[in-house]
Structure 1
Amino acid sequence: MTSAAPRLLLVDDEQSITDSLAPYLERSGFEVRVAADGQQAWDSVAAWHPDILVSDVMMPVLDGRQLVRRLRAAGDSTPTILLTRVGESGERSAALEEGADDYLNKPFDPQELVARARAVLRRVAAGAAPLVTAQTLVAGDLRLDRPGRRLWRADRELSLTPKAFQLLEYLMARPGEVHPRERLLSALWGFDFATHTRAVDHRVAELRAALGDDSLAPRYVETVAGVGYRFRAEVSRA
């Protein structure tokens, strides 16, 4: 990214949303173009090369998930935030696995979208963007095979429950970023409302036991007091 305003492509078939959101994003420092469906977005990505894509999921012609799959299959790692409606947790989880960088529930606070977009762009500037599309993630002697759903430490394969594996995959693909418990619950468990469950904490404990990670001096998963968790080790794609 250069010092120029980052290019943001906003994709939504609801004109009322794009008419109000595009000017707000421009006032927040983005150069914005609008597309009404995934096919228009595909054409615009090829012609305009945006720095970030913000797309609705449910659209005619080509929906948001199909757009992400097509981009990743073509080797295009343009960072993408998907806009999903409450109750579409299955769509959201699948989209994250397919290469979306983040999601936001509709309706949402435009300030939250700006904050998420800037966080994603910071990861891009740090060279982390390709991680969400990598087949294999590596952190030291830790190797995570995403398609095979397998995990090794050195030459030993580790056993995790499916949800713990999904949590580790999510954190490793977004290293260094603090992930609030509420966002993890929404993204990975499908809880769209505040809940008192300790599901995230239990899976983190499972990860630490499997990885031999010390909660007081973590090598991998760090607790950020009062907020959530982050993956602290450097991650690369194999």
Structure 2
Amino acid sequence: MKLLVVEDDPTLLDFICQGFREQGYTVNGLSDGHEALLLAKDQPHDAAIIDLMLPGLDGLSLIRELRASGHNLPILILSARHTVNDRVLGLETGSDDYLTKPFSFIELQARVQALLRRRTDSQSNTQISTSLQLADLTLDRISKKVTRGETLITLQPRELSLLEYLLENPGKVLSKTMILEQVWDYQFDPQTNVVDVLVCRLRSKIDKDFSPKLLHTLRGIGYVLKAED
């Protein structure tokens, strides 16, 4: 496995890189955001660990650039910024997980392994079933094409992940915590509205102009995807 680590503290950068190399990973460690972007575009990596406070190009901008250029590698933000808003912004920008400093290397390693495992499982599931459908709503897992009847629907990556999770569990009530763990690979304050916002965005695209309604809210419990009775 090949990791990209972007951290401007040289001592911490060496610590992280050495720790993963001892676990058998190939690691590219950089301290500059622009250099990291060029390297990521030039060489494939299996996952990335990115600090937010970087010279040249800050971490959030780096993640945006990577996502905009089509890179779908798992990204973990490692930052001293620890508020809920910081975490939500990082996750909404395109990261898959968020770990605050100070941190335990054992936890960092476990989180990276979880991201890599989830990516492998997702690829395996795609080989088993390339299409998911409920009523006239269809998701092609290979092309990422979503349609409702004859209408093509454009979804952002996080919206697409949520829809895929819902379609994998039709008729099953999914709590906020379940969605956070599946879509973001992260557990944080269940009172945050990040899930509500994402569900609202998805509903506006797959349900607003269609019938029957498929995405339902069970107040205080969670969400369920099913054809309206």
TM range (shorter): 0.5 to 0.7
State the Cα distance separating 1:206 from its structure 2 match: 2.8
Secondary structure of the residue aligned to 2:221 is helix
> Are 1:109 and 2:122 counterparts?
no
Distance in 2 separating the partners of 1:119 and 1:83: 15
Q: Which residue of 1 aligns with 2:90?
A: 95
Q: Does 1 or 2 have the higher relative contact order (CA < 8 Å, sep 6+)?
A: 1
Q: How does 1:64-83 map to 2 (within 5 A)?
A: 64-83=59-78
TM-score (norm 2): 0.61
Secondary structure of the residue aligned to 1:76 is coil
Q: How does 1:1-238 map to 2 (within 5 A)?
A: 6-127=1-122, 141=134, 170-173=180-183, 183-185=187-189, 188=192, 205-208=220-223
Any unmatched runs of 5+ in structure 1?
1-5, 130-137, 155-163, 191-202, 213-238
Distance in 1 separating the partners of 2:99 and 2:190: 10
Secondary structure of the residue aligned to 1:29 is coil
Structure 1 or 2, whichever has the larger Rg, is 2
Per-residue CA deviations over 1:93-127 (Å, capped at 9, x if unaligned) read: 11211211111111100111110111100111123
Whether contact under 8 Å (1:166, 1:188) holds in the other structure is no
Distance in 1 separating the partners of 2:5 and 2:191: 21
Whether contact under 8 Å (1:7, 1:52) holds in the other structure is yes
Whether contact under 8 Å (1:146, 1:169) holds in the other structure is no
Secondary structure of the residue aligned to 1:185 is coil
Q: Percent identity between the aligned chains?
A: 28
Secondary structure of the residue aligned to 1:115 is helix
**For the structure 1 residues 12 and 93, does the alpha-carbon distance in structure 2 shift closer, same or farther, using more than 3 Å as the test?**
same
